[in-house]
């Protein structure tokens, strides 16, 4: 029987395929989900609001800069906005794990999860 985390990872993979046309690297996706810890089980923290500036700053500062080790520059904001735009304004459920996975791939920082 699959556990809750595995069920969520399957859901994230479906979002990557359906919304982004991406065939996910399931090993990396699982590591991203595990890296988010218990936040993936809380509806509020499991999602990212595409219109909340504070939330977007958290993605940039806590994930891109601190976790992935990227330096502050305009590409970071652009990359986040690109994903939010692709997810679509009408999509209320923007999974944090999906966004972090896509950003990890975009910046080629998969080794952070090795």
Q: What is the pTM of this model?
A: 0.95
Can you name the residues that pair with 47 across neighbouring β-strands? 95
Q: For residues 30 and 101, what is the distance between their CA atoms, to the nearest angstrom?
A: 9
Q: Are 14 and 95 in contact (CB under 8 A)?
A: no
Grouping H, G, I as helix, E, B as strand and the rest as coil, residue 25 is coil
Q: pLDDT tens digits, residue range 33-59?
A: 999 999 999 999 999 998 899 999 999
Q: Are 80 and 56 in contact (CB under 8 A)?
A: yes
Provide the domain limits for residue 95: 4-113
Share of the chain above pLDDT 70, in %: 98
Q: Which residue has the higher pLDDT, 1 or 44?
A: 44
Specify the number of domains making up the chain: 1
CATH label of the domain that carries residue 15: 1.10.238.120
């Amino acid at each position: 029987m699959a556990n809750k985390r595995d069920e969520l990872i399957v859901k994230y993979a479906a979002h990557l395929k359906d919304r982004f046309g991406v065939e996910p690297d399931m090993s990396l996706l699982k590591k991203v989900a595990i890296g988010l810890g218990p936040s993936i089980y809380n509806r509020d923290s499991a999602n990212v609001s595409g219109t909340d500036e504070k939330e977007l700053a958290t993605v940039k500062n806590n994930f891109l800069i601190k976790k992935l080790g990227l330096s502050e520059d305009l590409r970071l904001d652009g990359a986040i906005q690109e994903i939010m735009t692709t997810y679509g304004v009408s999509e209320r459920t923007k999974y944090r794990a999906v966004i972090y996975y896509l950003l990890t791939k975009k910046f080629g920082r998969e080794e952070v999860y090795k």
